[in-house]
Amino acid sequence: MNTLFKENIRISLTSIRSHLLRTILTILIIAIGITALVGILTAIDSIKQSIHSNFTSMGANTFKIRNKGLNVHVGKRGKRPKRYRPIDYDEATRFKEEFGMNAVTCITAIASWQSTLKYKSKKTSPNIMIVGADENYLLTAGYEMGEGRIFSIHEVQTGSQVVILGTEIVESLFTEYQDPLNKTVAIGNGKYRVIGVLKEKGSSMGFGGDNFCVIPLKNVKKHSTRRSLSYVISVLAQGQQVIDPTIGESIGLFRKIRKVPLSEEDNFEIIRSDNLAEILIDNIRYVTIAATVIGFITLLGAAIGLMNIMLVSVTERTREIGIRKATGATSNIIKNQFLVEAIVICQIGGLFGIVFGIAIGNLMSLIVGGGFIIPWFWMSGGILLCAVVGLIAGIYPAIKAANLDPIDALRYE
């Protein structure tokens, strides 16, 4: 049986060489299908890995308390999504003062998404995000200080005119040899002294992670264009094992502060970094489905093309089939020969597709800042899929070849 299988493969390769052009075209169609499938799915795996690593860098033990109205709600027809009042400054500070768990608490607010910073004659693009925060910002946000220092408690309480810059802003305003520390930059109509520069974090999935600045929390209202700010409370638990009790304690205290009746739902929400990652990954699932469908459609076209080639091959090799049957080959042997030939063509196309797919997928991985990925699961799936496509495309031509009458086949010209 093993010898017969090897012989079928040898005959298949001989047939492929004798009809090289049309075989190459079919292999290319199969390769494109597998490239689309493996490439997109490899890129998606890389994006998932990047999402996990970026949210892990925020702190696996960190969660946020924020206004429920910040979510994007899609209401039912004829109904508006429910709106909740923002978390104000007094509520956020009271929570920080009264929270009794052994955890680090930070209050933040976004003053502006589209601001411009100036230093002498230089200025940034008008897309700088201004974040207001307290002295615990670095601990809960996952950033590290590159130069300088974080705010002191006194600077936070008095609303001092000091600022911490992201690396992109420093590159825009200062030359390579200039020290930004203790320089005065203009933010809107205010003048701020630079006391620190954050370490470069890089962009995450297209969002700049270094294109922002941090000012003391009390200065936020000076730069906000909104009438009512909503503050965000970040809590860093002491360990993964106590994060659930810490969340439970936070909900109880903040319900009390917000005066939420027992019969009503929370008018705020708890966001964990790992939950955000899962939400994004869950949305990517639809892209995975779309990529799989595209790959299957391409492979379906390849299967139809391969079946056409195999039917032409049966017609051209009718006399050869007659000779093989006359010399003792059974219908089963003839059928297996054509099935193996179809599968071999598919596997060659699949191997090229896997190589191209991994290359394209990892190119995307490089762009989004992920690591090199070898998608063993998708590689195995691609090889199996090619075998199935070859089987489906070759079964009808193989049966047709096996059912040829040897006498009629020998007389075929």
One digit per residue, the tens of pLDDT, for the chain of length 413 reads 567 667 767 777 777 777 777 778 878 888 887 887 788 778 777 777 766 666 555 556 788 898 876 544 444 444 555 677 888 889 999 999 988 778 889 999 988 888 899 998 899 988 889 999 999 998 888 788 889 999 999 999 898 999 999 999 999 999 888 899 999 999 888 899 999 999 887 654 444 568 899 999 988 877 776 667 889 999 988 877 788 888 899 999 999 999 888 888 888 888 876 666 666 667 677 777 877 787 778 777 777 877 887 787 777 777 877 787 777 777 888 888 778 888 888 888 888 888 888 888 888 777 766 667 777 877 888 888 888 888 888 888 888 888 877 776 666 65
Alpha carbon 315 to its chain centroid, in Å, reads: 49
Give CA torsion, residues 261, 264, 266, 268, to 10 deg.
-80
Residue 283 sits in the same domain as residue 148: no
Question: Is residue 204 domain-resident?
Answer: yes
- Residue 129, SS3 per DSSP: strand
**DSSP summary character for residue 167:** H
Domain that holds residue 380: 2-54+279-410
Residue 1 CB-density burial (10 A; 0-12 exposed, 13-18 middle, 19+ buried) = exposed
Task: Please give the Cα distance from 260 to 249 (Å, whole number).
Answer: 15
* Domain boundary, last residue among 234, 266, 298: 266
Q: Which residues of 239-248 are buried (b: 16+ CB within 10 A; e: fewer)?
A: eeeebeebbe
- Residue 19, SS3 per DSSP: coil
Residue 260 sits in the same domain as residue 185: yes
Residue 34 sits in the same domain as residue 154: no
Strand (E) or helix (H) holding 345 = helix 331-367
Domain count, the chain: 2
The pLDDT score that the predictor gives to residue 164 is: 94
Q: What backbone phi and psi angles, to 5 degrees, belong to 346?
A: -65, -40
Question: Is residue 198 domain-resident?
Answer: yes
Question: Is residue 377 domain-resident?
Answer: yes
Residue 255 sits in the same domain as residue 297: no
Residue 101 CB-density burial (10 A; 0-12 exposed, 13-18 middle, 19+ buried) = middle
Residue 237 sits in the same domain as residue 290: no
Question: Is residue 290 domain-resident?
Answer: yes
Residue 222 sits in the same domain as residue 368: no
Residue 116 sits in the same domain as residue 177: yes
Residue 229 sits in the same domain as residue 98: yes
Strand (E) or helix (H) holding 143 = none
For residues 233 and 95, the answer to whether their CB atoms sit within 8 Å is yes
Residue 290 sits in the same domain as residue 332: yes
The amino acid occupying position 162 is V
Specify the pTM.
0.57
- Residue 224, SS3 per DSSP: coil
Question: Is residue 247 domain-resident?
Answer: yes
Residue 239 sits in the same domain as residue 377: no
Question: Is residue 376 domain-resident?
Answer: yes
Question: Is residue 66 domain-resident?
Answer: no
Residue 178 sits in the same domain as residue 252: yes
Question: Is residue 192 domain-resident?
Answer: yes
* Domain boundary, last residue among 266, 295, 315: 266
The pLDDT score that the predictor gives to residue 205 is: 44
Q: What share of residues in the chain are helix, strand, coil (percent, to 5)?
A: 55, 15, 25
Residue 48 sits in the same domain as residue 173: no
* Domain boundary, last residue among 232, 266, 300: 266
